[in-house]
């Protein structure tokens, strides 16, 4: 079993970290640089930064905020929100991002995934997939969860792998911010359909949710936001829980030297 990653998400609005429920009911969650430094010290494996209004407003991700986060981070950083061109990907990687994720642009222009992977390498290109259940079927949404598409999540994930995406960020809009657990059904369906890593996102609320995402959902990494921002659960405790269950993680060394 590959090492599993714990990834805090920094959802950015007006230069601040924010948190919401089901993509609405947004509330302030602090300064992005302070949050970055905290998560790096706590043992996070990576960070994801999302400019939550960029796609909806038809603009690019805020480079200044991304640059400040990248400068403060000692772990890999993945940035997205409104990413729609090779030039924009280049700009984000140039200011310090290690990976860039695309969602709406990937749906509208799937060839962009191939082009960006060829230019920057597959490991730098992540495709975000936002899903919601509509009439007992999983539907993919774009534009920050505002526009539904006719894409099937499993088939879309397979296509993105074929187009050389290096990783998938799968978010359950129904579970987002609810803290009642990841959607293990769609996570497992997608993870079992592809060979590239799948990050489970949306719904983490307790220790068991993280181990279930691996053991039942077959996720390679678990992303969470409000759970971490409001100190309801810390990363070290989650990693200890996974370690005890025999799930490989990168352990915070300071707890295991005695």
87 annotated active-site: no
Exactly one of 11, 45, 53, 183 is catalytic; name it. Answer: 11
What are 40's two structure tokens?
Answer: 């790096």
CA distance 103 to 59: 14
* Residue 38, number of CB atoms within 10 A of its CB: 18
CA distance 227 to 44: 13
Residue 60: CB partners within 8 Å, gap ≥ 6? 54, 82, 83, 84, 88, 91
Q: Name which of 3, 13, 33 is nearest 81 in CA terms.
A: 13
CA distance 216 to 78: 25
130 annotated active-site: yes
Exactly one of 45, 51, 53, 130 is catalytic; name it. Answer: 130
Q: Name which of 82, 125, 89 is nearest 104 in CA terms.
A: 82
Residues 219 and 27: beta-carbon distance below 8 Å: no
What are 126's two structure tokens?
Answer: 């992540």
Could you tell me how far CA 247 lies from the centroid of its own chain? 20
Please state the length of the chain. Answer: 258
Residue 185: CB partners within 8 Å, gap ≥ 6? none
Catalytic (active-site) positions? 11, 130
């Amino acid at each position: 079993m590959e090492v599993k990653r714990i990834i805090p998400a920094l959802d950015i609005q007006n230069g601040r970290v924010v948190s919401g429920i089901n993509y609405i009911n947004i509330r302030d969650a602090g300064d992005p640089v302070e949050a970055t430094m905290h998560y790096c010290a706590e043992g996070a494996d990576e960070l994801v930064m999302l400019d939550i209004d960029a796609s909806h407003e038809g603009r690019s991700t805020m480079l200044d905020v991304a640059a400040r986060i990248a400068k403060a981070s000692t772990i890999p950083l993945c940035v997205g929100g409104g990413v729609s061109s090779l030039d924009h990907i280049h700009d984000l990687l140039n200011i310090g991002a290690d990976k860039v994720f695309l969602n709406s642009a990937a749906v509208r222009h799937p060839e962009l995934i191939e082009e960006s992977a060829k230019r920057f390498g597959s490991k730098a290109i992540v495709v975000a997939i936002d899903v919601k259940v509509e009439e007992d079927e999983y539907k993919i949404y774009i534009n920050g969860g505002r526009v539904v598409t006719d894409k099937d999540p499993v088939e879309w994930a397979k296509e993105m792998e074929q187009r050389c995406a290096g990783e998938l960020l799968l978010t359950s809009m129904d579970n987002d911010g609810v803290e009642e657990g990841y959607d293990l059904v769609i996570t497992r369906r997608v993870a079992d359909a592809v060979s590239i890593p799948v990050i489970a996102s949306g719904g983490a609320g307790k220790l068991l949710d993280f181990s279930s995402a691996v053991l039942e959902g077959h996720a390679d990494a678990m992303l969470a936001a409000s759970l971490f921002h409001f100190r309801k659960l810390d990363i070290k405790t989650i990693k200890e829980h996974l370690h005890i269950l025999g799930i490989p993680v990168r352990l915070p060394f300071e707890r295991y030297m005695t």
